[in-house]
């Protein structure tokens, strides 16, 4: 039990990034009622963009981070316009297949461009901060602080700004919002931009704390989607809660059930996803009628 505080902090670090990825799923689902499985690939691309801007072009890491989010936001809007908009009235299964196929294409393009080797941000090796029984690195502090900043910023945007109120109106009743003058397609573009930017932030923060690899997109897809389902499809607060719970479960389960073998982390994400679908398909904050995914 001496490791419990450390495991909880590790769970918070991982869960905060999973929450950012899960928010993108929740926002798109709240309006379009389908799961955007390209989100993990966009997160991976965002991590590579930050890395390239920082290491190859010599841009300050903070500025590179922001530029990566902006480029990823543009990528998300482009994906929607090219791949999803023509399928607005198509069966949801067609959109799902398109999302999965596009995710594979994006992953393959990055793999062919960068190769399969792991990349690491060139941060200096420094001693971790000791807080009682817990060790935490400066990068991990940044991960938690940045995730909290983005979550609070999103909350302010959705609750206080005009565009946020419009997004909520379209999510609640798209037909009524359109009748009252809201441009639904513009709102959808904003949602994809925000979700993709947050996905890029999640990918970059994960890459800063661990490594960057073309295969990380699939892992982020699984964990972001699992967090979204756990919290409740279409619920942003649920996505945040689900991501944090998933991070805790991963770290506690890996230590206590898998002897600390990190290879089991993704397995626990699958286990959590299966259990929530069996026990409460609508998720923690979801309602029964919202359990339909496709």
pLDDT tens, N- to C-terminus, the chain (294 residues)? 678 889 899 999 999 999 999 999 999 998 888 889 999 999 999 999 999 999 999 899 999 999 999 999 999 999 999 999 999 888 888 999 999 999 999 999 999 999 888 999 988 777 778 878 888 999 999 999 999 999 999 999 998 898 988 998 888 887 777 777 778 899 999 999 999 999 999 999 999 999 999 999 999 998 999 899 899 888 899 999 999 999 999 888 888 888 878 778 878 878 887 888 788 888 888 766 554 433
Query: Pick from 67, 73, 230, 65: which is nearest to 149 by CA?
Result: 65
Helix (H), strand (E) at residue 243: helix 236-257
Q: Token pair 């072009």 is at which residue?
A: 57
Contacts of 236 (CB under 8 A, 6+ apart): 23, 26, 27, 30, 154, 158
* Angstrom distances, CA of residue 144 to CA of 138, 200, 225, 265: 10, 15, 20, 20
Specify the pLDDT at position 291. Answer: 45
pLDDT value of residue 221: 92
* Main-chain phi, psi angles of 136, to 5 degrees: -145, 135
Among 184, 170, 147, 125, smallest CA distance to 23 is for: 147
Closest CA to 47 of 192, 195, 209: 209
Q: Which of 194, 160, 148, 162 is nearest to 23 (CA)?
A: 194
Q: Which residues contact 118 (CB under 8 A, 6 or more apart)?
A: 211, 212, 213
11: which 2 tokens?
Answer: 């769970």
Do the beta carbons of residue 159 and residue 251 sit within 8 Å? no
- Cβ–Cβ < 8 Å for 192, 28: yes
CB atoms near residue 281 (< 10 Å): 16
Residue 289 DSSP code: G
Residue 110: CB partners within 8 Å, gap ≥ 6?
A: 41, 44, 45, 48, 214, 217
Distance between alpha carbon 77 and the CA centroid of its chain, in Å? Answer: 16
φ and ψ at 284, to 5 degrees?
-60, -45
Q: How far is Cα 227 from Cα 238, in angstroms, rounded to an integer?
A: 8
Neighbours of 144 (CB within 10 A): 17
């Amino acid at each position: 039990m001496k490791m419990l505080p450390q495991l909880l902090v590790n769970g918070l670090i991982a869960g905060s990034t999973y929450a950012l990825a899960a928010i993108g799923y929740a926002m798109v689902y709240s309006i379009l009622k389908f799961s955007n499985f390209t989100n993990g690939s966009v997160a991976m691309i965002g991590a590579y963009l930050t890395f390239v801007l920082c290491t190859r072009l010599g841009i300050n890491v903070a500025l590179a981070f922001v530029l990566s989010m902006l480029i990823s936001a543009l990528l998300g809007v482009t994906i929607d316009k090219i791949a999803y908009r023509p399928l607005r009235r198509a069966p949801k299964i067609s959109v799902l297949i398109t999302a999965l196929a596009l995710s594979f294409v994006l992953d393959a393009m990055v793999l062919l461009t960068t190769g399969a080797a792991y990349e690491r941000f060139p941060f200096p090796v420094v001693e971790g901060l000791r807080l009682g029984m817990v060790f935490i690195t400066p990068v991990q502090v940044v991960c938690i602080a940045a995730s909290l900043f983005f979550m609070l910023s999103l909350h302010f945007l959705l609750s206080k700004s005009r565009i946020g109120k419009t997004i909520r109106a379209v999510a609640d009743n798209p037909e009524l919002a359109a009748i009252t003058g809201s441009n639904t397609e513009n709102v959808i573009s904003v949602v994809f931009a925000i979700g993709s930017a947050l996905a890029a932030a999640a990918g970059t923060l994960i890459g800063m704390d661990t490594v960057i690899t073309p295969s990380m997109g699939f892992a982020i897809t699984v964990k972001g989607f699992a967090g979204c389902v756990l919290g409740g499809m279409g619920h942003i607060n649920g996505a945040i809660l689900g991501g944090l719970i998933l991070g805790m479960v991963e770290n506690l389960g890996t230590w206590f059930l898998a002897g600390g073998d990190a290879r089991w982390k993704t397995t626990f994400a699958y286990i959590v996803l299966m259990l929530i679908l069996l026990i409460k398909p609508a998720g923690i904050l979801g309602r029964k009628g919202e359990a339909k995914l496709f």
